[in-house]
């Protein structure tokens, strides 16, 4: 594929992603490439890198342009980041399979470009994100972390095998079940992937699962299970003993979880659709030792992996999500038995979704108390805890992980 053809695909993808704000960028790209089998793997990598760079720098590029369009975003990126001249872009537009020629207006706009701040964020977000080191770290590319499935294997064996196979890998410093790759590698054809020994999961997400402190024989509810990423880790710690319930309002996500659970060798679980199984949920009050609420959130902590999210987020989104999180917490608390725990987590770095929700919950529910993360960390992970506060806020620049928040509430045993 020629550079001109690559640039044309970049423009098409940016246009499609901006036109489909409800669909994740990676899903749009997968569909695009699936329908264009003629685009080879090396071309896909080049095109994908350019698309993600443009999305990552969207706010800055938009500020540098008088008018924003997918074409102008791509051309501005070529000029300001790839240091191509207007003449070089002209030539690309003249080649076969390349973009259509630059208009006179586009030439004028591109000729007036000024350097931009790559760490720009939307104005309304600035009061919530004041730490420049955090903002910069959310701009970086994320590492690739995997979790070793203890139902199938152990970290030492997997590390040794991956090193033997030529992979650049190292143990994660916070999660005792994690491995971090020095560079991206295709894993889906590796025997360790095929036999269920490996699962892609950010280190902070692994720690959230560990801090649920689940044990064999427990009754555990993953209330917002989605496709089951954290449930897989919880199931491993339960050693297929006890009862693990995965619930969600999206049945298709639960079906994806079912396939993943099967590959991982998980046998002791049930899937429950919150909408369809309402009568079942009414009978589950005061039943569970652990209830995990991995709540829907803005996803600001995942901007390294999903740079399109920071361009789509609106103040209304944040307000609606905060209300939804409170509604879910109110629902989930009733399933916690006396002596049990409610674990609240988000992949956000915004206080309204995190520490502010902790304050709200404790004011609303005097029958729950907060358990310091450090205490549970020492019991469940048995490594030094990097947090001195009652809650934990993971960030890329401090912990090398996605931005994750976790708080742990306990419902004390009733006094006789």
- In angstroms, the CA 254 to CA 247 distance is 7
Condensed to tens digits (0 to 9), the pLDDT of residues 299-354 reads: 999 999 999 999 889 999 999 999 999 999 999 999 999 999 999 999 999 999 99
- In angstroms, the CA 201 to CA 61 distance is 31
Q: Known catalytic residue: 347? A: yes
Q: Which of 140, 134, 126 is nearest to 57 (CA)?
A: 140
pLDDT of amino acid 415 = 66
3-state DSSP percent of the chain in helix, strand and coil, to 5: 45, 15, 40
pLDDT of amino acid 414 = 77
Residue 297, pLDDT > 90, answer: yes
**CA 245, 250, 255, 257 torsion-angle sign:** negative
pLDDT of amino acid 79 = 94
Of 78, 93, 347, 385, which is the active-site residue?
347
- In angstroms, the CA 304 to CA 119 distance is 12
Q: What is the 8-class DSSP label of residue 383?
A: S
Measure Cα distances from 131 to 136, 293, 398 in Å: 9, 27, 12
- In angstroms, the CA 308 to CA 311 distance is 6
Question: What backbone torsions phi and psi does residue 291 show, to the nearest 5 degrees?
Answer: -125, 115
Are 390 and 329 spatial neighbours (Cβ–Cβ below 8 Å)?
no
Q: How confident is the model at residue 183 (pLDDT cuts 50, 70, 90)?
A: confident
Q: How confident is the model at residue 22 (pLDDT cuts 50, 70, 90)?
A: confident
State pTM to two decimals.
0.92
Q: How confident is the model at residue 185 (pLDDT cuts 50, 70, 90)?
A: confident
Residue ranges of domains in the chain, CATH in brackets: 3-120 (no CATH), 144-200 (3.30.70.1170), 203-410 (3.40.50.150)
- In angstroms, the CA 394 to CA 373 distance is 12
- In angstroms, the CA 333 to CA 337 distance is 9
DSSP count for the chain of H helices, then E strands: 19, 12
Residue 413, pLDDT > 90, answer: no
- In angstroms, the CA 99 to CA 3 distance is 11
The burial class, CB within 10 Å (0-12 / 13-18 / 19+), for 12 is middle
pLDDT of amino acid 416 = 54
Q: Which of 149, 269, 281 is nearest to 220 (CA)?
A: 269
């Amino acid at each position: 594929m020629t550079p001109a053809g690559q640039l044309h695909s970049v423009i098409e993808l940016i246009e499609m992603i901006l036109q489909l704000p409800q669909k994740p960028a990676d899903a749009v790209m997968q569909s695009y490439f699936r329908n264009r089998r003629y685009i080879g793997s090396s071309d896909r990598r080049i095109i994908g890198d350019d698309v993600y760079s443009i999305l990552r720098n969207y706010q800055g590029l938009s500020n540098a342009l008088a008018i924003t369009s997918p074409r102008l975003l791509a051309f501005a990126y070529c000029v300001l980041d790839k240091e191509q001249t207007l003449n070089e872009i002209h030539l690309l537009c003249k080649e076969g399979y390349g973009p259509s020629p630059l208009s006179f207006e586009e030439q004028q706009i591109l000729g007036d470009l000024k350097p931009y701040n790559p760490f720009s964020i939307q104005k309304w977000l600035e009061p919530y994100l004041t730490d420049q080191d955090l903002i910069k770290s959310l701009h970086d590319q994320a590492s690739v972390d995997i979790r070793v499935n203890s139902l199938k294997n152990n970290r030492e064996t997997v590390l040794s095998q991956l090193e033997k196979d030529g992979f650049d890998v190292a143990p994660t410093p916070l999660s005792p079940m994690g491995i971090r790759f020095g560079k991206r590698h295709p894993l889906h054809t590796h025997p360790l992937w095929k036999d269920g020994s490996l699962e892609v999961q950010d280190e902070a997400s692994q720690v959230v699962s560990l801090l649920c402190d689940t044990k064999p024989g427990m009754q555990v509810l993953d209330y917002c299970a989605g496709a089951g990423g954290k449930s897989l880790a919880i199931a491993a710690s339960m050693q297929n003993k006890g009862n693990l319930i995965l619930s969600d309002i999206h049945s298709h996500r639960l079906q994806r979880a079912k396939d993943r659970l099967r590959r991982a060798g998980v046998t002791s679980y049930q899937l429950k659709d919150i909408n369809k199984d309402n009568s079942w949920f009414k009978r589950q009050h005061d039943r569970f030792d652990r209830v995990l609420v991995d709540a829907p959130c803005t996803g600001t902590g995942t901007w390294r992996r999903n740079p399109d999210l920071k361009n789509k987020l609106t103040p209304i989104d944040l307000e609606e999500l905060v209300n939804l999180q409170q509604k879910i917490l109110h629902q989930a608390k009733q399933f916690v038995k006396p002596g049990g725990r409610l674990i609240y987590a988000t992949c956000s770095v915004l206080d309204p979704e995190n520490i502010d929700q902790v304050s709200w919950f404790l004011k609303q529910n005097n029958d729950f108390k907060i358990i310091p993360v450090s205490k549970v960390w020492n019991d469940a992970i048995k490594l030094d805890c990097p947090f001195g506060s009652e809650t934990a806020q993971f960030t890329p620049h401090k912990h090398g992980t996605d931005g994750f928040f976790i708080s742990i509430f306990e419902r004390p045993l009733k006094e006789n």
